[in-house]
Amino acid sequence: MLVWMLRKVMADRGIWSGAALARLLKEKAGYELSAPSISALLNGQPKQMKADTLDALCTALECTPNDLWVHTPPSQNEGA
């Protein structure tokens, strides 16, 4: 299972709002996301993501995709 860790990565860097993330994306990555798109990223696990968006998040937050997504293998009992 993949777990979306955007809020944790942001908190680790002292970024507490979607507006602050939007500013950082624009300043560091030259990338603009709409307020609803940022809200969706902050409030739930994305079902899909453009490579450009992932690249911009990694650039702005100075992280890797492995920081934003954490893979947790399913337990042996899951689905039984």
The fold of the 1-69 domain, in CATH, is: 434 Repressor (Amino-terminal Domain) (1.10.260)
User: pLDDT band at 73, cuts 50/70/90?
Assistant: confident
Q: What is the pLDDT of residues 27-65, one digit of tens each?
A: 999 999 999 999 999 999 999 999 999 999 999 999 999
Predicted confidence (pLDDT) per residue in 10-26, tens digit: 999 999 999 999 999 99
Whether this model's pTM surpasses 0.85: yes
Q: How far apart are CA 59 and CA 14, in angstroms?
A: 16
Output the CA torsion sign for 40, 50, 1, 9. negative
Tell whether the model's pLDDT for residue 69 goes beyond 80: yes
Q: Residue 54 and residue 76: Cα distance in Å, rounded?
A: 31
**72 pLDDT tier (thresholds 50, 70, 90):** confident
